[in-house]
Structure 1
């Protein structure tokens, strides 16, 4: 299998399009055969859909791949004074699917903040409000009791949050990423520049203290989301960088306690951003998961 190749940030931006949700511009990307199975990619905090750039080409060769920068992130609108929520971000994902006319059962691949959005989509699947075909989680706070936020995240949640956000810088981003990436899979200076460009676009640090409210929202939604994951027939897998101090091996241990027949993969030495640190491994484990689903479907009926 050919190693996933990078997409330059400017080229990535130029490939995107925009649509409006409640008066806010949402930047999105889609590629691949429209007849292929739909795959929704959901990014994390504080970055954007460019996180998926090394997986984009191999995934679009197989599936109809859809991604957007969620409200408050990347190249999408970042309204000041807005009460951002994970529930609203799930609404954004469904609005994008409606905009594209995509009504088929949906495969989901999510990371970090996006894991919580995916959990909300699983709950909505259980309620008959969307149809999911599968869900794969990369490192994220699936359970509030295992989430270990960085010091800057705690500060953003506090009374000085607006000031902390405004003072957030490329230097602080680099320091935080140095802690959460694996020791041998650190981002390059060029990658850090591009991550920072996405965060800083349209004064993004000014809304970080509002976006960070996802942490208490996770606690509020925990029982609903975990109950949905325990009850669902949606096939799920966790592919997790074990080195991650935020949601690494300790989160996977909790997942195995709570989710029956848990399907989990731990990537030794890899941190919080496995799709950036070890894209080849993530791709291999993701495709293995999908191939297993296909074999199951063939065994159940004509292929």
Structure 2
């Protein structure tokens, strides 16, 4: 510890002038006071340094905590981003993915084995082909994810939330679904009901499986609200026609009669399932022609409501 020489010189000189008897005590006191002052200054510097280090550590911990919260939500699912056009059938386990096209927020959740088990949406916003880029048959993408099981000839790449309802085509919105169920059964009816209502709220789909290995669901349970009414749809992932027949819910089989002419048979008015060959809920001009209808289809025709009148002139196929 260094002692200020000028202070000592001043104190010594003063002591000599006042009297030799007081010199030792005054010098000692001056030395002690100087030492205490320096010790206090050094202690203050150390305290300040410690405080700065603690604040820096707290700030770093806060940043790390925020990053972890962004990666994993409070419900234990990791949020990841998957492009809506991704055709891979692989799903990561215990994640959630936004499966809404554009700015829509629809969420698909997987379990520990990567099975798609839940899909939710606060609001279902219908597809808008006037502002969104869609294909001629009303699709956002030309194909769907190849989830294991869709290679079967009896299973479709079934959307949990359809294109027409604003859903994308990656594996977090696709399950292998019975083709008849998807195109003409309960699944198709549910999608049509939501479209005709102009959308839905509080949408939730619970998807169950027979075991932890397969990606082919055994059952779907849908809950949603349309026009203020809560709707619950639950059905097995089976061919509804075969199921109804097994349950004795169909009438006696009628002998098929070949048509006398090669002219196409016009479907019964209102039976869209015989016209909508791909089961997406929308009838294209080609589908209508193949079913025997001549163009144009006007607004008073029963098929008009299922077709896209791009120029809004009340006529399709003119």
TM-score norm. by structure 2 comes to 0.25
Higher relative contact order (CA 8 A, sep 6+): 1
Larger relative strand fraction: 2
Mark the structure with the bigger radius of gyration.
2
